[in-house]
Amino acid sequence: MNHSIRILAAAVVLAATAGSAFAQANVSVKDAWVRATVPQQKATGAFMQLQAAKDSKFVSASSPLTPTVEVHEMAMQGDVMRMRQVQSVELPAGKLVELKPGGYHLMLMNLKAQVKEGDTVPFTLVFEGKDGKRETVEIKAPVKALNNAAKPAHAGH
């Protein structure tokens, strides 16, 4: 209960932030962000909200930052956190699908340099419709502090 309220509040905060990149195509992408790293940290995650007008799926992402960008899903099995690469994420027509901590994320691996708060990371996202037609969406995601999850909903802090 508490948890879902926090997530909802976080989504509202994110929605209020400027810099959303809306594409005019089938799939819209908003509130994308990348978690900052410390020097020599080789991997981090990227998060965003996806919405498709027609039934589609999110199939891949790439970025000039690193050749290794994968779509992962985190799932808790009892007390154990498991992370797996997934081949695609279903985007039912009209449904907002969130890539957020506790679920799906883009995994950026083999990073060659520190990803610093305030930087912007370009991504090319590839979606596929039911007819097999592919669509690419270019976005630029801001880098947010490593501890970004720390203050999701508490306006007072």
Residues forming the site for another protein (CB under 8 A): 2-3, 6, 35-36, 38-45, 68, 70, 72, 74, 76, 79-85, 101-102, 105, 107, 109-110, 145-151, 154, 157
Q: Which residues contact 92 (CB under 8 A, 6 or more apart)?
A: 52, 55
User: Please, which residue, 18 or 76, has the CB nearer to another protein?
Assistant: 76
CB burial of residue 46 (10 Å; 0-12, 13-18, 19+): buried
Residue 2 C-beta: closest distance to another protein, Å? 5
Torsion from C-alpha of 98, 77, 87, 97, nearest 10 degrees: -10
User: Please, which residue, 112 or 157, has the CB nearer to another protein?
Assistant: 157
DSSP string covering 97-108, please?
A: EEE-TTSEEEEE
CA distance 51 to 72: 18
User: Please, which residue, 44 or 51, has the CB nearer to another protein?
Assistant: 44
Residue 63 C-beta: closest distance to another protein, Å? 14
User: Please, which residue, 24 or 85, has the CB nearer to another protein?
Assistant: 85
